[in-house]
């Protein structure tokens, strides 16, 4: 952060990328066959340079990914390519430098790289969620402040106490002060990008780090703007000039807030259909507006970086503006043009200039003090808030991530000739080392799923009879509402069999940097909107979102229950990348003390064709692996009711249910769930127990413990429902897996719903032998996959149940309580 303008120019200042005069008419070449030398012309030279950079960075990404480095780290390490191409290695050859990277050809390259940085900052501003600043939580604020104040105080204290030992150029300039301030702060876009690549964006520590970084980053931009204004005013020749500078900036700010923001909101709400991206014209208009904002702030002396970031901050993120910018611009500029900027930053470094060991070692000392100070300050506050030592250490590392923003500031210092070549070189290398060390360390040390280990059974089988059934229903879209409502209707909740239902609407994070998991809030109605005219007028201007419609359907189901308190609905909304969406599902299940997580199957049929969403399947598999309770996957084979969430209480389509019991913990959980449904009296239940004929005849007892538990579960079920006309128990003897499939095929047409255990965690049993060879969806298990296949036929729905797998051992017991309490704090109050 450049906080003051230098009074002197360093003798060995960093050389500009381009500083030459050439014939600007030499753009296109006539080709080598007509005697031209293409590399003497601007366009062929630019294409060659950009091709070299693109191929080199792609190769670096490929190699680094193979050794476990994420894209964020490899993107930073590509500056090593610039160092390799620069005077430190290949650029040391005059012939290479004049042929491939001559100064006359770098004007275009540098201009393109700066444009990419401008659009990167604009996109970053759009995706920044300022709502995190409104209620960040005490802990996030404390971590952010301590992680900024301690390194700043430590580095400045060392500098001023040992000032006499520093070289003259460092004592005369403000580099140490500016460097201490910049490295003491955390860059929100850098940390968001890194956490996204590490798949920690919606983890517990990720949200804490994001909130802390956003607070310090917003403060740093305000400070940077204020110091630039003070520096410009101090250099003004007259009070009139000073007033013009201040008024110009205030006018620009007013234009952005009072004109650009309302215009963007009007375009998003009035001119863009719901669920669609921005039109081409509007997209181009916003890109041009970003470039103009950079031009304006550069003209009035406030640097080109400020304008696009300010503009992006005030524009509405998410859908459609943020998503449009992400899909149409981010990939192109991030993959091609932004690496040019990073490579050019490394190109200016020169190891041959590292002669003044005392000078650059003092700069390195400040860098090290800032790194250690931020690590210790953040970790100390995290420990004060009773975070585990390992997690506190990881938070400190996350806040130390360095990226393109830090490279941009160092490059700007080089452009302003505020740093010598040796200082510039050691700073670039330091940023690379910090990134190369901290990112893999976080990946190695922090396991975000460890908090989902619990020491108590959270299953339906082990629940007390007639206790409240705590469910978590996850839905990706409105098509998933009707099957869940049908299942709830079939369960017949009552005052004796109450249900606490947490509804979680899962959406993919797009157009935003920060994920969220929060309770759903009903949209506020304007005063006096109770009458139908005002209500319809309001609906015309602000149609309910998909989350609103989903929640309304479950609220209506709750209100229509005959017994008050039979069903309690608690709606939540979540936006996260699909790769880490299971973190939020498991966290909410942990917080709500759920005994069952209900997931929709990733395939959907409309009666004519079947569509599959692989992202949904990946979420289901991850939840099955890490859930702190039992999990059920609901396969709906009934025809859809119209594709939208309906508030009408439909007559349940699930009136005849069956349990196919083969044995094992999952089947016992399926039996317990079906027994709970049968207790409500709304469905007739048939339990079919499959036995292997040869094993029974021989009297074999392969697993006495498992068989004893199965026998106890079945006998308990039969005793509880003895004499019930709506419950039937039967047994079928089969020879092998083919016999099992034949019996199920013949019986399934009699039922609307079949509940089965997932199984498949142990060796294949004789009851399912040969069936796993045709399995397409392992998350359903062998039997569930067979029943859900299109070849099996039928319109029945299938509920595949997996009993809680993960249980914390006794030596982990002492860490479970604080982790669970932390999840509660995050859900209710946001990250602290």
Average pLDDT over residues 218-226: 84
Q: What is the dihedral of CA 366, 368, 370, 371, to 10 degrees?
A: 160
**Rounded to whole angstroms, what are the CA distances from 652 to 398, 506, 649, 722, 756?**
50, 25, 9, 26, 20
Peptide bond into 320 cis (omega under 30): yes
Task: Tell me: pLDDT of 707 over 60.
Answer: yes
pLDDT confidence bin for 50, thresholds 50/70/90: confident
CATH number of 654-806: 3.40.50.620
Backbone φ and ψ for 555, nearest 5 degrees, come out as -65, -40
Does the domain at 37-445 match CATH 1.20.1530.20? Answer given as yes
Find out whether 184 and 155 touch, Cβ atoms under 8 Å: yes
Residue 749's contacts (CB-CB under 8 Å, 6 or more residues apart) are 794, 796
Of 338-352, 390-404, 514-528, the poorest mean pLDDT is in 514-528
Q: Where in the chain is the domain with CATH 1.20.1530.20?
A: 37-445
Average pLDDT over residues 271-294: 87
Q: State residue 531's pLDDT score.
A: 45
Average confidence score pLDDT of the chain: 82
pTM listed for this prediction: 0.82
Percentage, residues of the chain above pLDDT 70: 85
Q: Where in the chain is the domain with CATH 3.40.50.620?
A: 458-522+546-652, 654-806
**What is the three-class DSSP state of 829?**
helix
Q: 458-522+546-652 has which fold? A: Rossmann fold (3.40.50)
Task: Tell me: pLDDT of 647 over 60.
Answer: no
**What is the three-class DSSP state of 416?**
coil
Nearest to 658 by CA among 778, 767, 766, 745: 745
Of 3-17, 335-349, 477-491, 802-816, the poorest mean pLDDT is in 3-17
Task: Tell me: pLDDT of 64 over 50.
Answer: yes
Q: State residue 527's pLDDT score.
A: 46
Average pLDDT over residues 720-725: 84
- Mean pLDDT comparison of 308-317, 537-546, 622-631, 712-721, highest-scoring range: 622-631
Average pLDDT over residues 698-725: 77
**What is the three-class DSSP state of 506?**
strand
Residue 244 in tokens: 């013009």
Residue 423 in tokens: 């200082």
Q: State residue 107's pLDDT score.
A: 79
Higher pLDDT, 245 or 644: 245
pLDDT confidence bin for 725, thresholds 50/70/90: confident
Nearest to 201 by CA among 374, 448, 438, 402: 448
Compute how many other C-beta atoms are within 10 angstroms of the C-beta atom of residue 780: 26
Task: Tell me: pLDDT of 245 over 60.
Answer: yes
Task: Tell me: pLDDT of 623 over 90.
Answer: yes
Higher pLDDT, 319 or 191: 191
Radius of gyration of the chain (CA): 32
End-to-end CA distance of the chain: 27
**Rounded to whole angstroms, what are the CA distances from 182 to 187, 227, 562?**
9, 13, 62
Residue 215's contacts (CB-CB under 8 Å, 6 or more residues apart) are 133, 136, 140, 141, 144, 145
Nearest to 801 by CA among 618, 616, 611, 673: 673
**Rounded to whole angstroms, what are the CA distances from 81 to 52, 57, 61, 65, 402?**
10, 7, 11, 16, 18
Q: State residue 819's pLDDT score.
A: 39
Residue 199's contacts (CB-CB under 8 Å, 6 or more residues apart) are 577, 579, 580
Residue 427's contacts (CB-CB under 8 Å, 6 or more residues apart) are 179, 363, 367, 410, 419
* Secondary structure (DSSP) of 632-680: EEEE--SPPSSSS---S-PPPS--EEEEEE-SSHHHHHHHHHHHHHHHT
Average pLDDT over residues 674-689: 89
3-state DSSP percent of the chain in helix, strand and coil, to 5? 60, 10, 30
Residue 521's contacts (CB-CB under 8 Å, 6 or more residues apart) are none
pLDDT 10s digits, 326-368: 888 777 777 778 888 888 888 888 888 888 888 889 999 999 9
Task: Tell me: pLDDT of 251 over 70.
Answer: yes
pLDDT 10s digits, 553-612: 999 999 888 778 889 999 999 999 999 999 999 999 999 999 999 999 998 776 667 788
Q: State residue 288's pLDDT score.
A: 94
Of 337-346, 402-411, 787-796, the poorest mean pLDDT is in 787-796
* Secondary element (H or E) of residue 691: strand 684-692
């Amino acid at each position: 952060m450049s906080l003051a303008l230098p009074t002197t120019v360093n003798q060995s200042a960093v050389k500009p990328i381009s500083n030459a005069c050439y014939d600007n008419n030499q753009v296109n070449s006539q080709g080598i066959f007509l005697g031209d030398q293409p590399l003497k012309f601007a366009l062929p030279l630019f294409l060659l340079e950009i091709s070299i950079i693109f191929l080199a960075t792609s190769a670096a990404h490929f190699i680094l990914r193979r050794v476990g480095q994420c894209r964020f780290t490899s993107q930073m390490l590509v500056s090593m390519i610039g160092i390799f191409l620069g005077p430190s290695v290949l650029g040391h050859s005059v012939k290479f430098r004049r042929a491939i990277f001559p100064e006359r050809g770098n004007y275009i390259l540098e201009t393109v790289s700066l444009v990419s940085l401008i659009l990167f900052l604009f996109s970053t501003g759009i995706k920044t969620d300022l709502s995190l600043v409104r209620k960040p939580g005490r802990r996030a604020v404390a971590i952010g402040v301590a992680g900024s104040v301690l390194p700043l105080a430590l580095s400045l204290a060392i500098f001023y106490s040992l000032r006499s030992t520093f070289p003259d150029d460092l004592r005369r300039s403000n580099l140490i002060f500016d460097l201490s301030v910049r490295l003491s702060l955390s860059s929100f876009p850098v940390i968001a990008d890194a956490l996204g690549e590490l798949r920690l964006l919606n983890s517990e520590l990720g949200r804490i780090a994001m909130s802390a970084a956003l607070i310090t980053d917003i403060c740093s931009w305000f400070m940077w703007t204020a110091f630039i204004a003070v520096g410009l005013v101090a250099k003004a020749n007259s009070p009139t000039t000073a007033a013009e500078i201040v008024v110009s900036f205030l006018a620009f700010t007013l234009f952005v807030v009072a004109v650009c923001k309302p215009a963007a909101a009007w375009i998003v709400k009035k001119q863009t259909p719901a669920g669609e991206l921005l039109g081409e014209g509007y997209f181009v208009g916003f890109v041009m507006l970003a470039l103009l904002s950079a031009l304006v702030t550069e003209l009035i002396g406030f640097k080109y970086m400020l304008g696009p970031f300010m503009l992006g901050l005030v524009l509405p993120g998410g859908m459609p503006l943020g998503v449009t910018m992400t899909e149409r611009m981010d990939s192109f500029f991030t993959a091609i043009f932004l690496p040019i900027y990073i490579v050019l930053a490394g190109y200016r470094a020169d190891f041959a200039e590292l002669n003044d060991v005392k000078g650059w070692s003092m700069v390195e000392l400040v860098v090290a003090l800032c790194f250690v100070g931020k690590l210790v300050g953040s970790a100390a506050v995290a420990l004060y808030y009773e975070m585990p030592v390992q997690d506190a250490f990881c938070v400190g590392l996350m806040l130390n991530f360095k990226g393109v923003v830090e490279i941009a500031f160092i490059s700007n210092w080089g452009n302003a000739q505020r740093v010598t070549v040796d200082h510039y070189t050691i700073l670039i290398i330091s940023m690379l080392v910090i990134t190369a060390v901290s990112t893999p360390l976080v990946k190695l040390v922090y396991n975000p799923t460890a908090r989902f280990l619990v020491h108590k059974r959270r299953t339906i089988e082990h629940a007390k009879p007639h206790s409240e059934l705590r469910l978590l229903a996850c839905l990706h879209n409105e098509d998933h509402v009707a099957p869940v409502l049908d299942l709830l209707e079939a369960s017949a909740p009552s005052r004796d069999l109450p249900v606490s239902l947490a509804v979680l609407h899962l959406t993919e994070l797009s157009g935003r940097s920060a994920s969220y998991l929060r309770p759903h809030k009903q949209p506020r109605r304007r005063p006096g909107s109770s009458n139908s005219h005002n209500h319809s007028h309001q609906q015309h201007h602000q149609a309910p979102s998909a989350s609103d419609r989903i929640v309304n359907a479950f609220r209506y189901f709750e209100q229509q229950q005959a017994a008050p308190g039979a069903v309690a609905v608690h709606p939540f909304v979540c936006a996260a990348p699909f790769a880490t969406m299971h973190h939020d599902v498991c966290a909410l299940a942990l917080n709500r003390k759920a005994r069952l997580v209900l997931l929709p199957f990733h395939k959907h049929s409309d009666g004519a064709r079947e569509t599959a969403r692989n992202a949904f399947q990946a979420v289901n598999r991850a939840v099955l692996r890490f859930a702190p309770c039992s999990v059920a996957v609901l396969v709906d084979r009934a025809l859809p009711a119209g594709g939208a969430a309906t508030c009408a209480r439909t007559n349940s389509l699930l009136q005849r249910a069956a349990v196919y019991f083969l044995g094992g913990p999952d089947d016992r959980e399926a039996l317990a769930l079906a027994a709970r449904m049968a207790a409500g009296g709304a469905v007739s239940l048939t339990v079919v127990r499959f036995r292997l004929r040869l094993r029974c005849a021989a009297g074999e007892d392969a697993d006495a413990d498992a068989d004893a538990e199965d026998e106890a579960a079945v006998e308990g079920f039969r005793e509880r429902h003895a004499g019930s006309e709506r419950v039937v128990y039967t047994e079928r003897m089969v020879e092998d897996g083919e016999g099992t499939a034949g019996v199920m095929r013949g019986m399934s047409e009699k039922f609307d719903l079949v509940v089965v255990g997932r199984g498949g965690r142990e060796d294949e049993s004789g009851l399912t032998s040969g069936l796993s060879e045709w399995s397409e969806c392992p998350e359903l298990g062998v039997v569930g996959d067979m029943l859900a296949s299109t070849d099996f036929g039928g319109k029945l729905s299938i509920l595949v149940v997996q009993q809680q797998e993960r249980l914390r051992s006794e030596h982990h017991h002492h860490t479970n309580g604080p982790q669970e309490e932390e999840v509660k704090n995050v859900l209710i109050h946001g990250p602290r």
